[in-house]
Amino acid sequence: MKTLLERRQAIAEFQQTKYTRLKRTGESYIQTKDWAVRNITRCLDELKKSVMNDQAARLIRDEIDGYLKRYHDYCIKEQIGAHYREVGALKKECDFEHVIPKAVAREMMIYKIMTIDEALNIPTCWLRKDKHQALNKMYASTTPDVWDFWARYRNAFPDISIQTWDGKNIDVSTWDIANHYEYFK
């Protein structure tokens, strides 16, 4: 154990490491996905051993949320922007919105209804800020129908037009989770 004087000297001499800024590449996206899958798998294994309603389980669920968020931000938001976008809206007018809330995807993963890969690639959308706020008031961290995930949008905004990140217009009354995962393999 270091003495107080030794600790003071070590702190005074400490030089923070300056990491080089990494370039986003196909390899960095693969590393991010592998890291997220490995850690979510570990968390899911820990949850199996936990009491689902205690603080430890809550912390594990929070940790899973963190891995989902990091993957979504790095591999989706910063790569393609979002899976979908509101037609006619400029990115600066929009929020990055989880069409299926992360918390729903997390719970479906915990109960083996959704795979880790599916949770990592839940539908996201660039949605106008005012609409995003309205959705959050109506459906705080939930969705009426995960299969028909556009139901939230249709219920709140009957005339909304949505397209994929690469410009394909979609019909929000028929485009379901199977279409999403088929299109975004």
- Whether pTM > 0.75 for this model: the answer is yes
Report helix, strand or coil for 182.
helix
Structure confidence by residue, pLDDT tens digits, 36-59: 999 999 999 999 988 778 899 999
Q: Is 8 within the bounds of a domain?
A: no
DSSP string for residues in 50-87: S-TTSHHHHHHHHHHHHHHHHHIIIIIITTTS-SEEET
Q: Is 60 within the bounds of a domain?
A: yes
Q: Is 117 within the bounds of a domain?
A: yes
Q: What's the pLDDT score for residue 22? A: 82
Which residues 6+ apart lie within 8 Å of 110 measured at CB?
44, 47, 61, 64
DSSP letter at 144 equals S
* Nearest Cα residue to 71 out of 19, 124, 143: 124
- In this model, does residue 141 exceed pLDDT 70? no
Q: Is 2 within the bounds of a domain?
A: no
Structure confidence by residue, pLDDT tens digits, 51-91: 778 899 999 999 999 999 999 999 999 889 999 999 999 88
Report residue 94: phi and psi, to 5°: -115, 160
Query: Do residues 180 and 129 touch, judged by C-beta distance below 8 A?
Result: no
Distances, alpha carbon 9 to alpha carbons 1, 4, 6, in Å: 14, 9, 5
Q: Is 13 within the bounds of a domain?
A: no
CA angle in degrees (0–180, nearest 5) for 96-170-159: 75
Q: Is 91 within the bounds of a domain?
A: yes
- In this model, does residue 142 exceed pLDDT 80? no
Q: Is 167 within the bounds of a domain?
A: yes
Compute the distance between CA of residue 119 and CA of residue 72 in angstroms, rounded to an integer. 10
Structure confidence by residue, pLDDT tens digits, 119-132: 999 999 999 999 99
Which domain does 36 fall in, by range?
A: 26-183
Structural domain tally of the chain? Answer: 1
Q: Is 12 within the bounds of a domain?
A: no
Query: Do residues 92 and 62 touch, judged by C-beta distance below 8 A?
Result: no
